Structure 1
Amino acid sequence: MKQVRITVLRKQLYEDLIVQFLSEPPAECVCDFFEVGDSFLYTGGAEMPAGFCPWAWIDIYRTVSALSCEATYTPWQQKEGTSVVCCTDGIRPVTFLLEAVEV
């Protein structure tokens, strides 16, 4: 089993969707849970890394778990043992780079 490094690549904000769909737009709407460059290490089991967003964890766990078991996402991903995924927040998604690493 491999560990998986999770790195925050990008935080998006779709202001047009905020205006169009949220009943009470918050003053600050971009995800404040993560910063670009934040890195976490998945060490096995179903345990979420300390300090990780529970909602994002639910969204990415399947791919993290698969990579830890040496699944491959090539040819869709250029590099073996990696995948780029995001949380499912349609208004302020966060994109992550997942990389399987040797223990």
Structure 2
Amino acid sequence: MKQVRITVLRKQLYPDLVRQYLTEPPEECVCDFFQEGDSFLYTGGAEMPEGFCPWAWIDLYRTVSALSCGATYTPWQREEGTSVVCCTDGIRPVSFLLEAVESRPS
């Protein structure tokens, strides 16, 4: 099994949707779990990396698990063993780069 590096590519916020659908002001609605460039390592099992957002983990786990088992998303993704996915928060989504990496020997 491979490990999977999870890197935060981008955080988005749609202030118009915040104003229309949420009760908080837009400046309070930015995702506070992640910063762009944050990196996490999935090492196996169903364990979420420490410090990861539980809601985003539910969204990413299927792809993380598949990549760790050798799945590929080519020809849709340019590189073998990578995938770009996002959490399903429609108002403040976060995009992640998932990269399968060789596990280090124990």
- In structure 2, the partner of 1:19 is 19
Asked if 1:70 is matched to 2:70, the reply is: yes
| Alignment gaps of 5+ in structure 1 | none
Flag as ranges the 4+ runs of structure 1 deviating above 4 A: none
| Alignment gaps of 5+ in structure 2 | none
TM-score in terms of structure 2 length: 0.94
TM-score in terms of structure 1 length: 0.96
Count residues in correspondence. 102
Asked if 1:37 is matched to 2:40, the reply is: no
- In structure 2, the partner of 1:85 is 85
Alpha-carbon separation, structure 2, partners of 1:16 and 1:80: 37
Q: RMSD in angstroms over aligned alpha carbons? A: 0.8
Alpha-carbon separation, structure 2, partners of 1:25 and 1:50: 28
**Aligned residues with identical type, % of pairs:** 84
